[in-house]
Amino acid sequence: MSEVLVVVEATREFGVKKVTLEMLTLARELGTPSAVVLGGAGAADALAGKLGEYGAEKIYAAEGAEIDGYLVAPKATVVAELVQRVQPAAVLLASSQEGKEIAARLAVKLDNGILTDVVGLAADGTATQVVFAGSAIVKSKVTRGLPLVTVRPNSVNPTPAAASPAVEQLTVTTTDADKLAKVVERVAEQKGSRPELTEAGVVVSGGRGVGNADNFKLVEELADLLGGAVGASRAAVDSGFYPHQFQVGQTGKTVSPQLYVALGISGAIQHRAGMQTSKTIVAVNKDGEAPIFELADFGVVGDLFKIVPQAAEEIRKRK
């Protein structure tokens, strides 16, 4: 079976991201998964164990400052060379900003079609995409070149399949054109041990109804009790209640968790665009007519400052 390249997404703090395990799971349906690690020195060795657990038969690594000292261009050059050498059956990347950007450059370099935000991939390369704020489902195919797709987190259930991959170090030969956008500083802001928003199984979000930044502690408390991530509506972010990187909606992150809890969020289309493919939706809002209740599996009309603390207390009791 031909190789399927999976471009690994990982963080320094948490290692291999869940979406990478989802991609390895998908790749096994299409061929033999090979993981491609692009990062700082030693990145591949640190991730090899986990990648092997989920079926990576081989690991290609391109590491060092030549790779991670610049925005995505050097990474795309390395992957393009690898694609030309091994002629894979498909290339899978995460549907994150970086994954999409590497894919964008690959598409131009290889004159190859590209499909983004894919939530399912059949053996014949037909991809499923959810578009227009989750209101339509599209089936599409790359018609020139190989299937080059970016996979949206929480699309498939990652299943382990043990393999013991060897690491092959790739020679990095980048050009001056790859080094035009230089990263001069990286500042970590992520606080605590909450799961990453787009990958979390549970997301608890707050909206304008939360009232102020301090009150977001309530949202955080419920999120922590449920082992979830914290999100915020655009109204809450624009009002300065919570940082922008946690914004869920049309102009923010798209999430698709098992459980989405909306607190003090009216459910404007802007917000629904980012969360309405969640499996179960729960809402608390003082306005019984709020559109969020049209999609909620369970809704409580009332004062979130009474309901949420009571819910938190009840969860603690049951633990």
Partner 1 sequence: MNIVVLVKQVPDSGADRNLRSDDNTVDRGSASNVINEMDEYAIEEALKIKEAHGGEVTILTMGPDRATESIRKALSMGPDKAVHVVDDALHGSCAVATSKVLAAALSQLGADLVLCGSESTDGRVQVMPHMLAERLGIAALTGARKLTVDGTTLTVERQTEEGYEVVTASTPAIVSVWDTINEPRYPSFKGIMAAKKKPVQTLALSDLGVAAGEVGFDGATSVVVEHSKRPPRSAGVKVTDEGSGGVQLVEFLATEKFV
User: What part of residues 206-265 is at the interface with partner 1 (CB under 8 A)?
Assistant: 226, 244-245, 250-251, 254, 258-259
Does 299 sit near partner 1 (CB under 8 A)? yes
Distances (CA, A) of 79 to 16, 30, 36, 52, 247: 19, 19, 8, 20, 31
Residues of span 113-132 touching partner 1 by CB under 8 A:
113-117, 126, 130-132
Q: Say if CB 49 and CB 71 are below 8 A apart.
A: no
Residue 159's nearest CA partner among 55, 245, 31 is 55
Residue 300's nearest CA partner among 259, 275, 265, 271 is 265
Does 156 sit near partner 1 (CB under 8 A)? no
- Measure the CA–CA gap between 206 and 199, rounded to whole angstroms: 18
Q: Say if CB 9 and CB 37 are below 8 A apart.
A: no
> Judged by CB, which is closer to partner 1: 167, or 221?
221
Region from 24-32, 47-55, 59-67, 102-110 binding partner 1, contact rule CB under 8 A: 102-110
29, 45, 168, 303: which one contacts partner 1 (CB under 8 A)?
303
> Judged by CB, which is closer to partner 1: 185, or 214?
185
Is 227 assigned a ligand-binding role in the annotation?
no
Instruction: Output the smallest distance, CB 310 to partner 1, in A.
Output: 3
- Location of structure tokens 């930044």: 213
Does 306 sit near partner 1 (CB under 8 A)? yes
Region from 31-39, 44-52, 174-182, 208-216 binding partner 1, contact rule CB under 8 A: 174-182
Q: Say if CB 37 and CB 45 are below 8 A apart.
A: no
- Greatest pairwise CA separation for the chain in angstroms: 61
Residue count at the site for partner 1 (CB under 8 A)?
96
Does 160 sit near partner 1 (CB under 8 A)? no
Does 314 sit near partner 1 (CB under 8 A)? yes
- Measure the CA–CA gap between 8 and 82, rounded to whole angstroms: 14
Is 264 assigned a ligand-binding role in the annotation?
yes
19, 37, 93, 107: which one contacts partner 1 (CB under 8 A)?
107
- Measure the CA–CA gap between 139 and 180, rounded to whole angstroms: 36
Output DSSP code: residue 239.
T
Output DSSP code: residue 258.
S
Tokens of 145: 């070149």
Region from 32-40, 50-58, 81-89, 143-151 binding partner 1, contact rule CB under 8 A: 143-151
Q: Say if CB 97 and CB 72 are below 8 A apart.
A: no
Residues of span 189-208 touching partner 1 by CB under 8 A:
189-190, 196, 202
Instruction: Output the smallest distance, CB 163 to partner 1, in A.
Output: 28
Does 32 sit near partner 1 (CB under 8 A)? no
> Judged by CB, which is closer to partner 1: 34, or 102?
102
